[in-house]
Amino acid sequence: MSFITSIFNSISANRLRRVDYFRHHPHEVQRQTLRTLLNRASDTLYGHRYGFGGVRDAESYRAQVPLVEYGGLKPYIDRLLRGERNVLWPGSIHLFARSSGTTQHRSKLIPVSREGLQCCHYRGVRDNLVLYCHSYPHSRLFHGKALTLGGSQSADIVSMEGCFVGDLSAVMLKSQPWWADLFRAPSQHVALLPRWEEKLEQIAQQTQRLNITSLSGVPSWNMVLIRYILQRTGKSNLHDVWPNLELFMHGGVSFGPYRERFRGVLPSDAMHYQESYNASEGFFSIQDDPQADDMLLMLDYDVYFEFIPMHAMGGRQLLQAEALPLEGVELGQQYAVVISTSSGLWRYVIGDTVTFTSLSPYRIKITGRTRQCINVFGEELIMENAEGAMQQACWQFNVLVMEYSVAPIFMNASVKGGHQWLVEFERPPSDMQQFASTLDTLLCAANSDYAAKRANDVTMNPLELVPLASGTFMEWMRRRGKLGGQNKVPRLWNTREYAEQLLDIDQQLRQQNPAQ
């Protein structure tokens, strides 16, 4: 065991005991978290409006405080941006994480309090390392630097003087202590560059000769960086550039579609992967068992959890549904995640869906987004179905996929409905039609509603697979101002807006390069 790792493990021993405590006493820890949050925020504007001081337990909390999405908190967040104090959380909030937009709001600005930063976001980063080194006590992770590929500061937000707005990674970077730069790369200046192409070049210049031992970030953008560095150095795999690289800490999107591509450029058996569920709104779970593909729900991060059972919606709107406390969840069901946090997000429906794989301790898998699904014909296709089917089809046909997105084909007088899969391949199948047919069969096996609508082609036609020209998704993200950082390609949509944009770009690229 290295000296530095040994010191870190000694320091981490107390933290491991606390993690073990909430593993065994989850409901007690969550009840205490709720009491603490309500007591601290009882004199805020929001706390007065909803009577935080009179809330005695989880039941009265659910009765007095409404479920909200971003639109319900936006008027309060606007007041924070104007410099008002004691609105959602005691004192002022000067940090705002810019998150993906919704139908109603181009961007969401999520408040990040000092307590939220320290007790949730930073604690999650530290616990990632604590749990990894506990699993691999002979790690040499701290003998080199961590390359963090994050977002940038936002320059187009008009707000109060002294307010910092950026992707969550930029917010965390801006607020970290000076000594953290001793263990990470690239420099803060480069990490916060707004232009993706310039950032890519500068990261490659600064890091290709460093001893990089870990990577972290969204898989898709890390793969772009890896390809760029391999092209720049002329190396065949990343271990030839960074021989001591041992860990990729990933999150943001399902790793399944990217797994084989990472193995191709990181072929060493000594390479490890660790998933976490961290969002602009908070840090929620970490993969604590390297042999499993689920994550431990972290229950002492100043986050109180509730869960809306998606199977019991009965046609109701999400905000009119009943949310369950942690002790009310069941295995195998799909739930929308609701959080209350020390950054002033109260009964906030984050937009993600999860399923529980274990109740002792509580472990989860991310299954998708509440708004990213296709249910035009009653098929109720969710991201978990799509990701699983695509991953299995790729494995069967030895295919590599760069990106993909799915849109409905709407019925008309002469055409039945269906789904159109827009796919950019890195290594395409030898038989595109057979690949599409297998993918369709796998979707039927994964989703009984989809299978029922596909039965005998009565309601829905077989899926239509459209291979896109190389670079289509990258160009699409560029035009939308979504290059790099925490931006993700949307997988499933109930409209054709994104699909038509992608098809237009595909046509333009093929006209520029007929060989594609």
* AA letter at 264: G
Q: Number of C-alpha atoms within 13 angstroms, CB side, residue 158? A: 0
The confidence score (pLDDT) of residue 406 equals: 95
For tokens 């000076």, the residue is 178
The confidence score (pLDDT) of residue 161 equals: 60
The confidence score (pLDDT) of residue 398 equals: 94
Sequence ranges of the domains in the chain: 373-512
Task: Report DSSP state, residue 376.
Answer: S
Give the list of residues 6+ apart from residue 412 with CB closer than 8 angstroms, or none: none
User: Alpha-carbon distance 196 to 194, whole Å?
Assistant: 6
Please report, for residues 105, 438, 445, the alpha-carbon distance to residue 377 in angstroms, rounded to integers and kept in the order given.
27, 21, 18
Nearest Cα to Cα of residue 124 among 343, 301, 350: 301
Q: Are 325 and 309 in contact (CB under 8 A)?
A: no
User: Do you find a cis peptide bond into 408, omega within 30 degrees of 0?
Assistant: no
For tokens 């999107």, the residue is 253
DSSP letter string over 294-318? SEEE---SSEEEEEEEGGG-TT--G
Q: What is the pTM of this model?
A: 0.83
What token pair was written down for 227?
């390809």
The confidence score (pLDDT) of residue 256 equals: 78
Dump pLDDT digits (tens) for 403-423. 999 999 987 766 788 999 999
Nearest Cα to Cα of residue 294 among 358, 370, 360: 358
Query: What is the side-by-side strand order in the sheet with 95-99?
Result: 108-112, 95-99, 164-166
Burial of 35 (0-12, 13-18, 19+ CB in 10 A): middle
For the chain, which residues score pLDDT lower than 50? 1, 101-105, 155-159
Cα dihedral 484/485/486/492 (nearest 10): -10
